[in-house]
Structure 1
């Protein structure tokens, strides 16, 4: 494989997991070289290059991962697919729905795989929520809140366009989790705006409500949550599930703890989720749910299975189109609004 880009995305969310697998990174293309990082790279045989044609013309390359700013994704995706290679593209997949459909159509015509890197489908907190739903602890789900909050005061005016805001940058992850679990919503409500400085041109706050039949999901992020809110709050006909704090993989990576460490990504017992439910005898039970350890590298395991064995993609075309439609509808209209699914 090859990687386009050599910044935080490649070095934090991709390479540490790739090195644990039987995947050869033959090239890393970057128009701005970083000799100090290249010197210490784990595979001395990897070729660092400023010549993209060198990468795309090599018949050995089967997969190219695009880890560059979102505005460049469409062009790189086109170039990779037109060279006859499969492509994995960081989120958000493209600028808009039209570009997304163009790339997916191109991949399908060429019998290649094009997929978005939705690694947070393998967040530990999300995997645990999924398990709680599958085991039926809460009965039929009625309401779910998904929070990804921070406390990062910043009164400076934020500049840029919609792709530079929190909704596109973070919202795509936690919206995709909901689409992966429940599919396409019937309606979506939006409140997307800057709350720390109203003169900002990009958002730092969003709440997106996804409406299903007799079920609602609220997905929210604020930069001013001084008191932590649960990561997930799930209510159903038979009980509730609450989980605090986020997946620990990113925290460990920031400390230099890598996926080969036995303690990597393991949640603290005091942060395990808790389910309070009614059993068949109508007894109320309170139970801790140990967190399922996440692994972003499973995206690559699944992708290789799709490329080599023609297995269904982790992120289907329909799910990706739904994700991008939700993003596009969110920024198409200013102020709170509701859209119906097409």
Structure 2
């Protein structure tokens, strides 16, 4: 099996939970380098990885094939550009960049150097997202008319992460953080909208970055998609509500990979490593062949973030399709940027 050598730009939460465990367990990858500016926390679990004190120092390692840019979003552009100029393929954590101009420049640079650029949109591999994708593709709901996708939390106290909480920093706040997932899912399901309207602010107060948003996407054929997030939601909602002219589907957010990884769970290569659900997590109501209404309790199958890295490996070795292309995610950045402008101006914006 061809071995692909990877360097991690940071060993914070993202590195520890979303990247290192999968790279370490996938037999086609070798995690050869990790940047830790002052600590050596990675040494215990990943003793074969060389620890570097800066991204610049790591990029001098000519053996590295792929660099994972998983630093705070305000540094994504700088480090991603640096890696591309060093001749490295790159995976960039979401959100891609702080604005569209940076994202477009990185895509152009990668193309000019014949290198790949993928954005780590791991929520495409969540069990709940995959279940919604399946239900929509089956066509039982008919023509989709209205959709709501939510990602709520109950975090009334600000975090210590200034790159997420400081309103003066570009890219801070929930719209870039959680919004990058919801916008990506909307565009994966329905494509690029024609118009949007957004309401964005901070429930914790003006001294903190936005922690609430509602973005209404307008599509052709009168489809409306509402994306919403709040940090003052103690009781869970259905994360997905899909309404069509033949039926409806309600789906809970039940993927638990992040929580399991945070407790030290080790993903397994080659098979699902999350346990099947013991209860249903969705409700499907639709008209059957006899025009009678059926109500079915559904259960989603396990998601697996390993599939993202499997697709990256298959792209490198076999030339298969690259997951979450940079120029694809640029479109998401355009929606995020327009949403911020819409909220500021208080009006509907035409995206064409």
The TM-score range, normalised by the shorter chain, is over 0.9
* Change in 2 beyond 3 A, CA 1:52/1:153: closer
Instruction: Decide which of 212, 229, 232 is 2:237's aligned counterpart.
Output: 229
| Superposed CA offset, 1:222-256 (max 9, x none) | 11223221011111111111112331111212222
Partner of 1:110: 113
Given the two structures, how large is their TM-score scaled by the length of structure 1?
0.92
C-alpha separation between the residues in 1 aligned to 2:275 and 2:191?
Answer: 29
C-alpha separation between the residues in 1 aligned to 2:337 and 2:35?
Answer: 30
Structure 2 residue matching 1:276: 3-state secondary structure: strand
8 A contact 1:247–1:267 mirrored in 2: no
Structure 2 residue matching 1:175: 3-state secondary structure: helix
Does structure 1 residue 12 correspond to structure 2 residue 8? no
8 A contact 1:249–1:264 mirrored in 2: no
Residue segments in structure 1 that go unaligned for 5+ positions in a row: none
C-alpha separation between the residues in 1 aligned to 2:316 and 2:158?
Answer: 46
Partner of 2:281: 272
* Change in 2 beyond 3 A, CA 1:159/1:29: closer
* Change in 2 beyond 3 A, CA 1:335/1:201: farther
Instruction: Decide which of 298, 313, 329 is 1:320's aligned counterpart.
Output: 329
Partner of 2:312: 303
C-alpha separation between the residues in 1 aligned to 2:16 and 2:89?
Answer: 21
Given the two structures, how large is their TM-score scaled by the length of structure 2?
0.90
C-alpha separation between the residues in 2 aligned to 1:166 and 1:277?
Answer: 34
C-alpha separation between the residues in 1 aligned to 2:339 and 2:90?
Answer: 27
Q: How many pairs align?
A: 338
Give 1:45-194 correspondences, 5 Å limit: 45-154=48-157, 159-160=166-167, 161-194=169-202
C-alpha separation between the residues in 2 aligned to 1:174 and 1:142?
Answer: 18
Structure 2 residue matching 1:188: 3-state secondary structure: strand
* Change in 2 beyond 3 A, CA 1:177/1:237: same
1:119 CA drift (Å): 0.7
1:46 CA drift (Å): 1.1
Partner of 2:347: 337
C-alpha separation between the residues in 2 aligned to 1:215 and 1:266?
Answer: 35
C-alpha separation between the residues in 2 aligned to 1:266 and 1:191?
Answer: 38
C-alpha separation between the residues in 2 aligned to 1:136 and 1:121?
Answer: 20
Partner of 2:34: 28
* Change in 2 beyond 3 A, CA 1:265/1:316: same
Instruction: Decide which of 205, 209, 216 is 2:212's aligned counterpart.
Output: 205
| Superposed CA offset, 1:81-114 (max 9, x none) | 1111100011111121111111100000111001
Residue segments in structure 2 that go unaligned for 5+ positions in a row: 1-5, 160-164
8 A contact 1:188–1:209 mirrored in 2: yes
| Superposed CA offset, 1:249-287 (max 9, x none) | 112122222223988433533342110111111121111
* Change in 2 beyond 3 A, CA 1:39/1:63: closer
8 A contact 2:100–2:334 mirrored in 1: yes
Give 1:236-275 correspondences, 5 Å limit: 236-260=244-268, 264-266=273-275, 268-275=277-284
Which deviates the most, 313-322 or 13-22?
313-322
8 A contact 1:208–1:218 mirrored in 2: yes
* Change in 2 beyond 3 A, CA 1:267/1:251: farther
Does structure 1 residue 293 correspond to structure 2 residue 302? yes
